[in-house]
Structure 1
Amino acid sequence: MFLSELYRYPVKSAQAQRLQASPVGLLGLQGDRRWMVVEEENGRFLTQRAWPQLGQLRASEDDSGQLLLQAPGQAALGVPVPFADQALRGVTIWRDTLRVPDAGDAAAAWLSELLGKAVRLVHCPEQRARYLPSGYGLNSDRAAFPDGFPLSLIGQGSLDELNRRIGRPLEMLRFRPNLVVQGAAPFAEDGWKRIRIGSLEFRVLKPSVRCIFTTIDPATGERSADREPMATLRTFREKEGNVLFGQNLAVDGSGQLEVGMEVEILE
């Protein structure tokens, strides 16, 4: 088995970046979901579930270390990383509330134009990261702005089996994983507890719960008329009302991941 794909999502719910290598540490892949768009009036987070325009947003780090925002019809904008205690804003992501630095008026105006709604852009420095959901992981584990966990993994075999059942190929990016593993049987990751990739050990914490987000085509932003892949997943991957696909992970220590690294099951 080997690591076949690596993805990060600099802004939560915006476009993915496919990587060949990445540092990884407490908050997952370097730069992954460290930025988030929130409503100006109440700080609540926005995603493509309700704001498909976020799928047009490309975000990357430029040569100076700034966040570079790009979208069709708008001039690119560089956004400096705010200081950890600068212009703190209260935000809500699912059941979590926290105070994090606001990225300033220029970024807010740019994103408000893109979405047609008054929004702000916020950043999560490591010292302001969230605890994981109660009952999972270690007290030392943290996450920035993913739904709950610092890393997600899907076996390529699991997607291949799902696509076989659906009858057409759907993209891995519908599920927005960080790590894709090739060479394992379909849904083998359900039984993993600890794995090693390169020199790093990862703890498998819980299955990933899926939602309507997966029905959005990552290339076009359009929803599947037949509600796939959720319709098929519900026929064989539903447990206690939740549709499960992939696994959430935390890493012990820090290091470097590269596509092609061997994946070893430790437990």
Structure 2
Amino acid sequence: MEKASSIISSIFGSTPSEAEAKITSIFVYPIKSCRGISVPQASITSTGFRWDRHWVVVNSKGRAYTQRVEPKLALVEVELPKEAFNEGWEPTQGSYLVLRAPGMNLLKVQLSKNCEPIDGITVWEWSGSALDEGAEASEWFSKYLGKPSRLVRFNTASETRAVDPNFARGYKTMFSDEYPFLLISQGSLNALNERLAEPLPINRFRPNILVDGCGPFSEDLWTVLKINNLTFNGVKLCARCKVPTINQENGIASTEPTETLMKIRSDKVLRPTRNQRGKVYFGQNLVCKESLSTSGKGKVIKVGDPVYVLKKVSSSADAPA
């Protein structure tokens, strides 16, 4: 059972007078597992932030590459036009996705071109068609990774990818691992770094939203948030995979932070009375209520926006995971 964070938050869904945190960074990852872009604002779409995980690199069988098996993807720098993050912006003939990587020439992918759909694209449990970005992009990634590869775009005209209905029924995403948004607090990162011999930057954890002003791991408890009049639901603690162990500057993996997280953030520690699955948790997965509606403007959040918590659970053990 969820418990209201305060009486005021349970009456008519009203917003508390004091914010619990504020947004300090927003990140969008246009190509799954490649570098993210720090932006001052981002628009909310039906699948998450606009441009987030819009593309994925796949192998010769159409299966998605991630940093788990291709850590070199961490070194691929991604650039979109700055105006691409303005509400309502549409690409022109001169708008490009620009890619850079060590030892590679610049690659420019036109945003407004028509692409041919190809079938048999697979990302985890999902399979469907995607839009092939063509021979030049294929050759670029094939050379960089040393194996046949293609860059494909999510086919919004024909495909949908549903979020796990056990946690967020009716929501969808593109090529994200599971959920449209991931939120982490600076307090959580600071608390982890205090236990590490070498502090880690936030890019190890690839959040969409970084907030500050709250205590460590406060975000575990948040189940209903208000940001710029948009309602976000915290639907599941984020179980971490191998990716946070990969240095995003050189693509080399180590044992941290997983070793330390197992001591302080495992299901055994946080959820001792629940089934143990050997998971470690860091961050909170979110969905946005307004993403269910295709109408209306103003679905934008910005760096500096206050975060109001309307509902929370009493402990991490009570949070869905």
- TM-score, normalised by the number of residues in structure 1: 0.93
Partner of 2:80: 61
Give the secondary structure class of the aligned counterpart of 1:122: strand
1:173-221 deviation line (CA, Å, top 9, x unaligned): 1000000110111111111111011121111110111122111111222
Q: Which residue does 1:168 correspond to in 2?
A: 198
Contact 2:115 2:132 in 1 (8 A): no
| Bigger shift: residues 53-62 or 190-199 | 53-62
State the distance in 1 between where 2:62 and 2:38 align: 29
| Equivalent residue number for residue 12 of structure 2 | none
Aligned to 1:21: 41
**CA deviation after TM superposition for structure 1 residue 256, in Å:** 1.1
Match of 2:55 among 1, 26, 35: 35
Quote the RMSD (CA, aligned, Å): 1.7
Alignment partner of 2:139: what SS?
Answer: helix
Paired positions, count: 263
CA contact (8 A) 2:75 2:248 kept: no
Q: Does 1:3 align with 2:40?
A: no
What do the CA deviations read for 1:88-112 (whole angstroms, capped 9, x no partner)? Answer: 2321111111211111111111110
Identify which of 261, 278, 282 aligns with 1:245.
Answer: 282
SS in structure 2 opposite 1:242? coil
Task: Decide which of 221, 235, 241 is 2:263's aligned counterpart.
Answer: 235
- Relative to its length, the structure with more strand (as a share) is 1
Q: Which secondary structure state, in structure 1, belongs to the residue aligned with residue 188 of structure 2?
A: helix
Equivalent pair of 1:3/1:261 in contact (CA under 8 Å): yes
Q: How do 1:38-187 residues align onto structure 2 when only pairs under 5 Å count? A: 38-40=58-60, 42-62=61-81, 64-81=94-111, 86-127=116-157, 128-139=159-170, 141-187=171-217
Given residue 152 of structure 2, which amino acid in structure 1 is its aligned partner?
Answer: V
Q: Distance in 2 between matches of 1:97 and 1:125?
A: 12
Unpaired runs of 5+ residues, structure 2, are 1-20, 82-91, 268-275, 292-298, 312-321
Say whether the 8 Å CA contact 1:44–1:92 is kept in structure 2. Answer: yes
Matched residues in 2 for 1:48 and 1:56: separation? Answer: 10
Amino acid at match of 1:230: T
Q: Which has the larger radius of gyration?
A: 2
TM-score by length of 2: 0.78
Q: Report if aligned partners of 1:207, 1:247 keep a CA contact under 8 Å in 2.
A: yes
Question: Partners of 1:27 and 1:253 in 2: how far apart?
Answer: 11
Other-structure match for 1:212? 242
Confirm or deny: 8 A CA contact 2:95 2:112 kept in the other structure. no
